[in-house]
Structure 1
Amino acid sequence: MDLTQRKLTKEEWESLEVPLPEKEMKILKMIHDSFTNVNFVSNDSISLNTYMKVLSDFELYNYHFYKLYFMKYINEIIKKFKLKMVFDIKKKKIKKLKKADEFRIKNLQKKIKDVKNIIYEYILLDVCILFLKSSDNEKSKWYYTIKRLLQNNVVNINMYIIEFINTLLDLYKNKMEKLKHILVKNAEVYIEKNVYLSKYCNLELYEHQKKIFTISKNENPKCILYQAPTGTGKTLSPIGLKNKYKIIFVCAAKHVGLQLAKACISMEIPIAIAFGCRDVGDIRLHYYAAKEIVRNRRSGGIFRVDNSVGDKVEIIISDIQSYLYSMRYMQAFNENKDILWYWDEPTITLDYEQHEFHEILKNNWQKNEIPNVILSSATLPDKDKILPMVYGFKNKFKKCEVYEVKSYDCKKTISLIDANGHVIMPHIIANNNKKKLKTFSKYINNNKTLLRHVDVKELSKFIYFVNKHDLIKDVYKIDNYFETVESIDIISIKLYYLKIIKSIKEMPDKLWLKYKNNFKKEYTSNIKITTSDSYTLTDGPTIFLAENVENLALFYLKASNIPKEELLKLIKIIEENEVYRKELDKVVFEEKERQDKISDKKTDKDNKMDSKEYQKLEEFDRKVSMLKSKIKPIQLKSRYIPNTKQHIAANLNINIMNSIDKHRVERCFKSEIDDEIVEEIMLLDVRDEWKILLLMGIGVFVEHKSKQYRDIMKKLAQEQKLYLILASSDYIYGTNYQFCHGYLGKDLENMTQEKMMQAFGRVGRKNNQLEYTIRIRDNHIIEKLYSEDEEKLEIDNMNDLFG
């Protein structure tokens, strides 16, 4: 775990200035602006009125647009599908369009075909056609899709289109309401991975953000226990909270703080940075927060900042050791009641009985003077488990309220896979044991974050099986439980699943065996990830967590089946390059020493071509060029680089290819590492094995003496250039990179429940509906997921350190 408390480097400061993509900026602006109205909803989809920049007289334009662009299209739909309906708008006394507007609308006729695919009314009508021409089973998908699309907050949709679609849906309503079981049975395809629903969805706050913003508006001192799944915007919430408070954002992992800093700078929010501070004087202001500055006379750029003047600072981003300095700094310019301490992942290191951070954490908590605190973590203990800490805070700050904000967003599923390649499901683990099912149901109900790891495809099959064989009361049958089609979504289906496993009747052994025999493996094999199983790792990078990372890395290097002579050839080149690298380092070091000695004595004459100094510099450049030219380029054959075409051809024979999902093979993920990065890594002082693994697209995160290697690996991970990262379980706290797949190694059997959930949170952090899996290599730890852990070291430490 890289929790080293260091000041920002020049490169890290410069990286903060890189603008974020437009899509991310929209999200940040929405979070910021929604603080005053938490129910604010927007949608980027474009209606024809919006496209034509209509700002008033909507009834007038709706009528003319309908007559000109939609009426013929709708009449064709009615005729083609022989719909028993008449749809005609009554002729209204509508005033005439102005000449200029008539001209604009006629001009649109020339390019309407080119823009149809972005106009929301046409998108709605296209889905209506998909509905009408689909089979009876598929009709429920498109009926549901239309219903959801109509609920979106798209501005100024043509009223006549809405009227037509509602009339059409009414024709089929009775029939569709009787097909709710088809919708639930196919929920993965019809709902969860429905491209129309994800592509055209609204942009709004998560429910937990709405709650946190609402509670934070209370004037009394407050401690908010903020528990929400990873990847749902918790660390961006300060961007909204800063509308009311000056924020001290504290994080143990520098990378997390840097991402917030980058977001703030993109939003032009004045920030300060407090990393690796030994006193208040080490705090640095970003230029947006600088009040007292000295400018360069020639360029006009900022030459010097007075970091002691911080009254413009809205958010200060701090590491753990610098918290008290950050607090004093903010107190110098603000009253305590106007400051909020936002502590990200306060349980870091609390899964250890002893850790050097514990004393710092205790000291920060005891000496804290800020009455408004948010403790934010996906695995934060419930309030009733940390009462000594709660009472201690209440005693310190009179009239204080302690709130809990809990969320279980599970719009996307991150499936769990066991060591044998089966999807992990609570009812399968229970193995027809009714008592266990009730226990699992109760525990998941109290810890609903686990719902995101309940596979939709498998739960849909189980729900359908249970309904079909009358294993639940009538009141719990699909058609009775869900009142309308609109009441069905992924969350409601998962909650329904919990109800079923809690109330299911005793299942005869024969029937259970019948179900179990049809429970197929998701993967016949999934551990040979450098050879024949690499195709199962799709859409993005993979992280493999283990205790002994070094052994794991060497195992995969050996398992990659790179011929001995090929390895020896690579190692020989690396060793030869190493000789020249050391010589190069020596030349550069000696020149630096020489330059340091003469720096004060240099004159303008030394820059002339006939001077001795100029000649020495030329000689230095010649030596460097000569040594660099001797360093040979190093390449690994494509057949040994996972998921290249040559690698797949070499590792998947015809029999395997015929038995696997072709679509999965098409989406398999491979590394993209530039030659310049490879050359840079080859010149570093790290093990030869790590260099060869890098050529395969595999990064090894262990304790390296080379900081440069660590930094390059982090950069490659952030840019999703690596195919696979091998790291220890502590690495989970130091990253919020995007992974599509994760592995928990066999040697993690002592991992706490909370840390396991933190590990799960590394996967599927973005909003994309891709294929996400977490693959557990030791089946013994699976049952730990769904039952209360008797030993809660994190809870004991929280009460001990903060009570």
Structure 2
Amino acid sequence: MDLTQKKLTKSEWEFLEQPLNKNETSILKLILNGRTDINTKFNTSKSLLSFIKISNNLEAFHYYCYQKYFTKLITNVEKKYGVRFIPPLKKKKSLEMKKKDIIRIKNIDKKIDKIKDDLYEYVLLDNVTRFLKTKDIRYYYTLVHLLGNNIEFTNEYVLLFVDNILKQFKNDTIVQAAITNAHEVIERNDELLKYSNVELYEHQKQLFSICNNNKEAALTLYQAPTGTGKTLSPIGLKKRVVFVCAAKHIGLQLAKSCISMEIPIAIAFGCKDVSDIRLHYFAVTDFVKNRRTGGIFRVDNSVGDKVEIIISDIQSYLYSMRYMMAFNKKEDLLWYWDEPTITLDYVNHEFHELLKQNWNENEIPNIVLSSATLPSQEDIFPMIRNYKSRFPSGSIQNVVSYECRKTIPIINSNGFTVMPHYTFTNMKDIKKSVKHLENNKTIMRHFDIEEISKFIKYIHEKDIVKERFKYNNYFQDINEVNIISIKIYYLKLLSKLKSDQYDLVHKYLLENRKQKYKSTIKITTDDSHTLTDGPTILITNNVEKIAKFYLKISKIPESELTNVLKVIVENSIYSDQLDEIIAVEKERIDKQQMSKEKSEREAASGGREEQELEFYKQRLAEASSRIQAVHLAKKFIPNSDTHIKRFGKTPSSRIFTSDIDDTAVENIMLLEIPDVWKILLLMGIGVFLKHESVRYMEIMKKLAEEQKLYLIIASSDYIYGTNYQFCHGYLTKDLTENMTQEKMLQAFGRVGRRDLQKDYSIRIRDDRLIEKLFTIETDKIEVKNMNKLFG
């Protein structure tokens, strides 16, 4: 990860002003509304009345629309499937409609056939029909959860009909069917996601309650899985925030989000004193206007009374703190420290003294320590004691989340899915593992739900489940069944087995285990088709070696490479010529401006300036035309159609490939970087390591942000600094010895950060990492360093 503390470049400032899409903006508004209402939610689905935009005299409208649009459908269902529904009617007078309202509804009759598939009532009735036709638990489960959604003005008679169907067909096998088929019924059920309410995560609700409502100071230990909005949570805090992060990229994303919400912010990166802090225009109080344009010409960055969030790197924290304290009481400020364990997996690191200084000189009593792998309160008692000694009235608050609705399975070196009951051979080790996993439930997101279903089904078939833990005794209602509760149920059942029972289960399931992938290592050739839905990140300690290895096994013919390199070299020469032409022209213009009199004389004498300008344009066009587009044959670009056919695989829309435009390629080809990185770029592969070329990393980060790269090869230090969306991740063998459990979970957290219903995987090249993940790690270096530096 790039921990260099530098000021923002011009391109980074420009990045902050780029607008976000509608979905991202909606989420940010939700978080912002969380300042005043933690139960805020929204749902973009439309009922019939919300589509017509009717919100008054609802009883009459519901009845009229029921009779006009839904009665016939429901009557047909009743006749065909033998169900009965009698709607409870209100008094006739209360159901009377005005003529103008009837005309208003009739106006949509022509549209109804086109829009009804998107109207919530028709979605409900469609699922009822599919359930009654197939008796498939998937549709029953869908209906249960669709009824719980917050869709404005859904027809009350349709809701009653659906509820009536659910009650008629409720039986003792429903819970069992949902659990044993959870992958299809719940995890891959796109309707659950499509029509669900959008609301704050529980950990955000807890954090906002603590920070926005408590009058006393607090140190909040905030632990939640990666990709669940922790770094956006400051937007929902009422206090003025000093946000500190080691990874510049994280700070930029928050800054961009704040600007989209018009939140006044300041930026403090690479500061040597308070004067280096810069205000965004929304935060400006004192400024000078440009007389010609009317825009802001000069800003007084020393006046930051409007700033709500200042975004700082580690080096600049104390300057940021003092800056904000100049305009606010320290009790009204909050230090939000993102990923405080960065670099703490090293015995010694140049950042350690800086971290220690920040902690010891901090004057803000309200602190949030935010990380997916934050040590528990009990582990960092010396640090807690230090905080209490300096802020005696401060309390210690814990926010711990194990949100794991999505499954990101771990695949071992032989292509099999990893689970605790496959990993350990005896019940003694299982009990230790379960205890560890119950205290670290975030690991459950890596439990494969299909494997869990197989386990639960088998032990019930063998009748080795205690009575109180059987399906219908553990789950009182189908509403309680979800991905998280099933994973907790799995751990509970696993821990309750006797030794001989576990031996039986372990032996049977291991013998009947199915290989997920025959091979996964050849990611630029035979195995590339296994990388679906989005980009892949490969994490290694030896980036250069791995990059060159994949270039070698791609077996690009020498003639192909020679031709590409020839074009690159020629382009480099032409680019130098182009730079020289531009430089000469710039020098000519500079000299001309220095001699205004001469310029005026030449203009009056008629045309030498025009001749020189025309000559410059001609030379520029000639030099530019010599630069050729650089391409690699499609059959060497992983997962292109030609590449897929080359390795005898079947093309699929889910197989992911790179999509790099000619401009990005041209920009990379002209950089002073090794040719190997240029060839890899043509294959859709980016390399994250310490480059001398800042421009190369800027382009790579932009391509990663836009999901244009097929693969990123990065060192383990980059795991904290990338919040890009990856669908698959590799951990190489060279990580095994020195990778701590916390850093492993951080690495896993690079995958599956956004969408729920995609195929994700973590692919481990050394199976020793798996046992390390599932067992208690003692003498953690991160814990020792936290207590040493902050205790």
TM-score normalised to structure 2 length: 0.96
1:283-362 equivalences in 2 (<5 Å): 283-362=277-356
Shift of 1:309: 1.1
Call closer, same or farther: CA 1:765–1:606 in 2, change over 3 Å.
farther
Call closer, same or farther: CA 1:550–1:595 in 2, change over 3 Å.
farther
Shift of 1:514: 3.1
Task: Report how many residues are paired.
Answer: 786
Mapped contact 2:277–2:301 kept (Cα < 8 A): yes
Task: Choose from 185, 191, 204 the match for 1:190.
Answer: 185
Call closer, same or farther: CA 1:398–1:70 in 2, change over 3 Å.
same
Call closer, same or farther: CA 1:508–1:407 in 2, change over 3 Å.
closer
CA distance in 2, matches of 1:752, 1:353: 12
Call closer, same or farther: CA 1:702–1:622 in 2, change over 3 Å.
farther
Shift of 1:590: 5.6
Task: Choose from 419, 427, 435 the match for 1:434.
Answer: 427
Deviations 1:244-296 (A, max 9, x none): 21111111111111111111111111111111111111111111111112111
Shift of 1:767: 3.3
Name the amino acid aligned to 2:224: A
1:486 and 2:486 aligned:
no
Call closer, same or farther: CA 1:160–1:86 in 2, change over 3 Å.
closer
What is residue 2 of structure 1 aligned with on the other side? 2
Task: Choose from 226, 232, 235 the match for 1:230.
Answer: 226
What is residue 221 of structure 1 aligned with on the other side? 217
Shift of 1:622: 4.1
CA distance in 1, matches of 2:7, 2:611: 39
1:585-624 equivalences in 2 (<5 Å): 585-589=579-583, 600-602=594-596, 604-605=599-600, 608=603, 618-624=614-620
1:60-75 equivalences in 2 (<5 Å): 60-75=60-75
Shift of 1:122: 1.1
DSSP-derived class of the 2:101 partner? helix
1:418 and 2:415 aligned:
no
What is residue 633 of structure 1 aligned with on the other side? 629
Task: Choose from 130, 134, 149 the match for 1:152.
Answer: 149
DSSP-derived class of the 2:567 partner? helix
Mapped contact 1:607–1:614 kept (Cα < 8 A): no
Mapped contact 2:422–2:506 kept (Cα < 8 A): no
Shift of 1:509: 5.4
1:767 and 2:760 aligned:
no
What is residue 207 of structure 2 aligned with on the other side? 212
Mapped contact 1:606–1:613 kept (Cα < 8 A): no
1:365-380 equivalences in 2 (<5 Å): 365-380=359-374
Name the amino acid aligned to 2:76: E
What is residue 680 of structure 1 aligned with on the other side? 667
CA distance in 2, matches of 1:93, 1:167: 26
CA distance in 1, matches of 2:747, 2:74: 51
CA distance in 2, matches of 1:537, 1:179: 35
DSSP-derived class of the 2:42 partner? coil
What is residue 11 of structure 1 aligned with on the other side? 11
What is residue 76 of structure 1 aligned with on the other side? 76
Shift of 1:55: 1.9
1:172 and 2:163 aligned:
no
Shift of 1:86: 5.0
CA distance in 1, matches of 2:96, 2:87: 23
Call closer, same or farther: CA 1:617–1:789 in 2, change over 3 Å.
farther
Deviations 1:740-797 (A, max 9, x none): 1110011101211111111111111103311111101111211000112123111111
Name the amino acid aligned to 1:561: K
1:263 and 2:254 aligned:
no
Name the amino acid aligned to 2:751: V
TM-score normalised to structure 1 length: 0.95
CA distance in 2, matches of 1:290, 1:90: 59
Deviations 1:542-593 (A, max 9, x none): 0000011101011111111212221222222222323333444455456556
DSSP-derived class of the 1:362 partner? helix
1:562 and 2:556 aligned:
yes
What is residue 27 of structure 1 aligned with on the other side? 27
Mapped contact 1:605–1:611 kept (Cα < 8 A): no
CA distance in 2, matches of 1:397, 1:391: 10
Call closer, same or farther: CA 1:590–1:744 in 2, change over 3 Å.
farther
1:698-717 equivalences in 2 (<5 Å): 698-717=685-704
CA distance in 1, matches of 2:361, 2:106: 71
1:376-391 equivalences in 2 (<5 Å): 376-391=370-385
DSSP-derived class of the 2:501 partner? coil
What is residue 158 of structure 2 aligned with on the other side? 161
What is residue 461 of structure 2 aligned with on the other side? 468
What is residue 142 of structure 1 aligned with on the other side? 139
Shift of 1:666: 3.2
CA distance in 1, matches of 2:596, 2:670: 32
Structure 1 spans left out of the alignment, 5+ residues: none
DSSP-derived class of the 1:528 partner? coil
Mapped contact 1:271–1:315 kept (Cα < 8 A): yes
DSSP-derived class of the 2:220 partner? strand
CA distance in 2, matches of 1:647, 1:183: 40
Call closer, same or farther: CA 1:717–1:606 in 2, change over 3 Å.
farther
DSSP-derived class of the 1:726 partner? strand
1:774-785 equivalences in 2 (<5 Å): 774-785=762-773
Call closer, same or farther: CA 1:367–1:164 in 2, change over 3 Å.
same
1:516 and 2:503 aligned:
no
Mapped contact 2:2–2:690 kept (Cα < 8 A): no
1:643-792 equivalences in 2 (<5 Å): 643-652=639-648, 665-749=652-736, 750-792=738-780
Name the amino acid aligned to 2:756: N
Mapped contact 1:700–1:726 kept (Cα < 8 A): yes
Task: Choose from 571, 581, 584 the match for 2:575.
Answer: 581
Sequence identity (%): 54
Call closer, same or farther: CA 1:356–1:115 in 2, change over 3 Å.
same
- Please provide the CA RMSD for this pair: 1.9
Call closer, same or farther: CA 1:622–1:359 in 2, change over 3 Å.
farther
1:572 and 2:559 aligned:
no
CA distance in 2, matches of 1:619, 1:527: 55
CA distance in 1, matches of 2:503, 2:786: 46
DSSP-derived class of the 2:108 partner? helix
Call closer, same or farther: CA 1:511–1:460 in 2, change over 3 Å.
closer
Deviations 1:488-536 (A, max 9, x none): 1101100000001111132375664332121011101111111111111
Shift of 1:594: 6.3
Mapped contact 1:224–1:374 kept (Cα < 8 A): yes
Name the amino acid aligned to 1:118: D
Shift of 1:85: 5.0
- Of 576-585 and 669-678, more deviation after overlay is shown by 576-585
- Of 478-487 and 305-314, more deviation after overlay is shown by 478-487
DSSP-derived class of the 1:556 partner? helix
1:497 and 2:475 aligned:
no
Shift of 1:215: 1.0
Shift of 1:35: 2.4
1:272 and 2:266 aligned:
yes
Mapped contact 2:417–2:448 kept (Cα < 8 A): yes
Name the amino acid aligned to 1:104: R
CA distance in 2, matches of 1:579, 1:19: 38
Mapped contact 2:420–2:433 kept (Cα < 8 A): yes
CA distance in 1, matches of 2:475, 2:349: 50
Mapped contact 2:59–2:95 kept (Cα < 8 A): no
Name the amino acid aligned to 1:531: T
